[in-house]
Amino acid sequence: MSNIPLNIDWQQILLHWMNLAILVGGLYFILFKPVKQFMDKRQQHYKDLEDQANGKLKEAEDIKDQYQAKLDGVEVELHEARAKVQQAVEKSTQEQLAQAKKQAQQIVDKARIEAEHSKEKVMKEAQRELKQLATEAAEKIAFKSDVDPFDQFLNLAEGGKGNEIR
């Protein structure tokens, strides 16, 4: 072995290279590949969790939008219900006002009828009293004087001139 100046044995180097290749291959299959698979599974698991979270977030936003739409619808319904109630109150007020006017008219009509009745009663009473006074006056004239009753009546009607009752 004279041609190897530095005491290098190619066979030894080749064996070391083969040992190194076997060691690297063994470690690759024994350690690297399972660790790589574990890391890939773990990464996929977290990616799935993130996708689920994003899906649930999207679903929550959809539900929020639905509820917001329902709230907007409720606000519209509330506005419509308030408008209906206000119309009902106005209608009720108008009906009560009309009924009050009708009752007031009935009261006024009843008062007019009673006033007419009272007027007629007063007129009849006044006529009766006038008849009674006229009768009394005629009796006084007829019994107290020798003058013609017609002349006395005329004198009294003219203001009491001429022959007065004595």
Q: Give percent above pLDDT 70 in the chain.
A: 87
Average pLDDT value over all residues in the chain: 86
pLDDT digit string, tens, across residues 93-150: 999 999 999 999 999 999 999 999 999 999 999 898 888 888 887 777 666 656 676 7
pTM surpassing 0.85? Answer: no
**Beta carbons within 8 Å of 147's beta carbon, 6+ residues apart:** 163
**Amino acid 154: pLDDT:** 78
Q: How far apart are the first and last CA of the chain?
A: 202
User: What does the alpha-carbon distance between residue 19 and residue 111 come to, in Å, rounded to a whole number?
Assistant: 133
User: Quick one: angle between helices 149-157 and 33-144, nearest 10?
Assistant: 130
Select from 125, 124, 102, 122 the least CA-distant residue to 114: 122
**Does the pLDDT of residue 162 top 60, yes or no?**
no
CA 158 to chain centre: 81
pLDDT band at 81 (very low <50, low <70, confident <90, very high): very high
Q: How many other CB atoms sit within 10 Å of the CB of residue 152?
A: 21
Select from 126, 127, 164 the least CA-distant residue to 153: 164
